[in-house]
Structure 1
């Protein structure tokens, strides 16, 4: 089955996690060494490999960077290799076709502890690289001498070959034993080094962050209840539901996924989280669901009851008034969870937190979550009209300056429609959200990004939007897959300027001063997105960036910092 998907302009690349996404108590960090079978991502592109040898051979052949040669020539130790890998990861080369690469000031880099912090979350290459074939003869000699010193204790069984064939077999057996022993010693050495490195990262980079998160969590808890009533009251009014229902891209995407997968819904138990007027619940009932539990906290549920009864679906749909975190369902598991939880910049209003609670509490092991995957994207825009109307307007108001009026505008993220031609750089992914597996602590994030200007002009701000996919089996959407790609049994939509208009529009972060760029100008930076302490349904941002022109040394460029909020 192939479904129609809203259009999207083109490819985008990834930005990765930083320390704000690590949870020191996450068991997966402690079990990292057990994940050595994971695919290894190239240092310069998005290609994946099953072994470090294959990865480094690829880097040498296709990107002109011979890691093993550099490691041997410079006699890099374990930690220096780690620093080198993390340094290259930090450059975000996925955006460029690197065919030749050399590192300036490599001695400074391989001895700078700032590069001990992993760039990729749970990067398996940091554990696997030391298994790659090494030309380090010193290391091999150490292992050989170590093995010769210990191996004699295993030779207590005397074997006396009597024929040439037995002699040859015994020789091969001893050689195999020696190789096995050497491998075991090497493994123990690597394991010890990696455990030491893992603990160092945890102590140096993660525990401090954990303390900060704990403090924030206490503040969030103390303000959550007093703020949450306002949120639910806002959904008791008609206008917000009218706006969402009139958003055809939004509503029809859900409808099409449900109706085109009726076999998936037939005789299934469905949970609708935050059902509003009940439109998604009615789609599910019409698609053949045997039972739909529709949970809604706001007072709109009184009108929803009338709607369900009016459409003669009250024998299938059961409405439950309350927070999903507090309600009790009359079943142990549900087969499908549907929810329209996405807010401005994807995470505004923090409704995904509630969906995750429902997923962990009720979704069957082989259950389906709709939508199954979202991708948060970032680019830079050139929009002089928006810049002038929003900021420069206050420079001359009937002949008077009103500079003070700019202050709140400079820090407020703007929800606005942007024309596609305003995009002046590539588009990058700053957050992948696989809804079936993502955990709540990962919804606050910091992501590095690299944008490259596609033309001469001025950058007036950054723009964020999201893409959404529906799948039958919750599979992750690969970074190479665009929202416009036609893939069997996958549907979705974009909220970007390249697609049809949605009520989410785009989120604009206006710069204090516009920046002149040439084609090929690079904007390196990080975006930090967290729930607000004052109101956890709001978002706080910090964007740091540098402008790197053709002949600039990135380390010598000025770093700009702006903070924004979305209320």
Structure 2
């Protein structure tokens, strides 16, 4: 018994060390070796679970728990998918939407998932639910699919739930451009059919203290700013985060996913000027924004603070230098649109 305990202890220490070095495959092998010796070993089970969780973003669980999001997709899929449909699910994740399509009667479903660890699990999920005869999971990006090698017939329906909290950050525009030009039939249905962005000027003192980082508790922490990703938006939950709204909600751009804009690079964004009137007095820290997700001509769902879609929350873009504003003051704002990012400037 002592020899076995010593061996398990040695293997666990080595697995932890390899995990810390980022050598995931070797660490997994050692944890499995421990479980061969002791099938109930908590440390080995916990180590394996931790390794898996590090490769899978935890927002997947929040997304799957968003019942209204799931119902919205299921309703649209049941409306547009039939027995003659070949369906492409871009960013299939767990395979949930692909299985909704199969259940709705799709002739075939191809699910693309760039994260190979998730793709492997999605295959198991599909098999566990008995849809492996109609759903195929591919562990790569949809822009690497080739007709003849990966599919025989172009797709009648494209499902693309590749939306982040700010709408565009997961690459929905370039993904759909490639899919429409190379993978879809000319009359293909896109689910969702588009998004409309909305925004509001905001004071958010708690988060602004570290966006950018300056003085904290009387100490200059500005050198720590090198670890912050600048000139991008962040997630905010306006239901929970202390804030003050400084304007009415105003519209940003809408995107029809069948009529996509031309590609726009980060360094050469499309700039749209806006004039926004302040409805209150305070310090303008940034712009909070969200999207309405359109599921055809009739149904839309919002990720806004009072919306149905809860897991996305909202996005916020902080200005590097906030300004004091008064009620009735007009703010000249520039919105910078690129394919995968929305930014703002005080003009």
Q: TM-score, normalised by structure 1?
A: 0.46
- Paired residues, what number? 286
Larger radius of gyration: 1
- Report the Cα offset of residue 370 of structure 1: 0.6
Q: Which moved more, 1:271-280 or 1:341-350?
A: 341-350
For 2:119 and 2:223, the matched residues in 1 are separated by 44
Tell me the secondary structure at the aligned position of residue 167 of structure 2. coil
Match of 1:317 among 135, 151, 156: 135
Structure-2 residue corresponding to 1:424? 246
1:168-567 aligned within 5 A? 236-237=55-56, 239-259=58-78, 261=79, 264-299=81-116, 300-328=118-146, 329-388=150-209, 390=210, 394-397=214-217, 399-405=218-224, 408=228, 411=231, 413-419=233-239, 422-442=244-264, 444-471=269-296, 490-500=298-308, 502-530=310-338, 539=341, 541=343, 543-545=345-347
- Report the Cα offset of residue 385 of structure 1: 3.6
For 1:412 and 1:238, the matched residues in 2 are separated by 19
For 2:249 and 2:173, the matched residues in 1 are separated by 24
For 1:412 and 1:273, the matched residues in 2 are separated by 25
- Report the Cα offset of residue 391 of structure 1: 5.6
For 1:318 and 1:504, the matched residues in 2 are separated by 28
For 1:468 and 1:235, the matched residues in 2 are separated by 29
For 1:417 and 1:385, the matched residues in 2 are separated by 13
Are the equivalent residues in 2 in contact too, given 1:527–1:544 (CA < 8 A)?
A: no
The alignment's C-alpha RMSD in Å is: 3.0
| Greater relative contact order structure (CA < 8 Å, 6+ sep) | 1
Are the equivalent residues in 2 in contact too, given 1:427–1:451 (CA < 8 A)?
A: no
Unaligned runs of 5+ in 2: 1-51
Structure-1 residue corresponding to 2:27? none
Summarize the Cα distance change of 1:305–1:404 in structure 2 as closer, same or farther, 3 Å threshold.
closer
For 1:540 and 1:249, the matched residues in 2 are separated by 26
Summarize the Cα distance change of 1:440–1:454 in structure 2 as closer, same or farther, 3 Å threshold.
same
For 1:366 and 1:324, the matched residues in 2 are separated by 19
- Report the Cα offset of residue 405 of structure 1: 4.2
- Report the Cα offset of residue 500 of structure 1: 4.4
Summarize the Cα distance change of 1:286–1:520 in structure 2 as closer, same or farther, 3 Å threshold.
same
> Can you list the C-alpha shifts for 1:192-227, whole angstroms capped at 9, x where unaligned?
xxxxxxxxxxxxxxxxxxxxxxxxxxxxxxxxxxxx
Q: Which moved more, 1:429-438 or 1:457-466?
A: 457-466
Unaligned runs of 5+ in 1: 1-232, 472-488, 532-536, 546-567
Structure-2 residue corresponding to 1:548? none
For 1:514 and 1:238, the matched residues in 2 are separated by 32
Are the equivalent residues in 2 in contact too, given 1:356–1:440 (CA < 8 A)?
A: no
Question: Larger helix proportion, structure 1 or 2?
Answer: 1
Tell me the secondary structure at the aligned position of residue 510 of structure 1. strand
Are the equivalent residues in 1 in contact too, given 2:287–2:344 (CA < 8 A)?
A: no
For 2:260 and 2:86, the matched residues in 1 are separated by 23
- Report the Cα offset of residue 469 of structure 1: 0.2
Summarize the Cα distance change of 1:296–1:410 in structure 2 as closer, same or farther, 3 Å threshold.
closer
For 2:300 and 2:326, the matched residues in 1 are separated by 34
Structure-1 residue corresponding to 2:29? none
For 2:292 and 2:194, the matched residues in 1 are separated by 8
- Report the Cα offset of residue 436 of structure 1: 0.6
Tell me the secondary structure at the aligned position of residue 490 of structure 1. coil
Structure-1 residue corresponding to 2:44? none
Summarize the Cα distance change of 1:512–1:359 in structure 2 as closer, same or farther, 3 Å threshold.
closer
- Report the Cα offset of residue 512 of structure 1: 4.1
Are the equivalent residues in 2 in contact too, given 1:356–1:439 (CA < 8 A)?
A: no
For 2:249 and 2:86, the matched residues in 1 are separated by 39
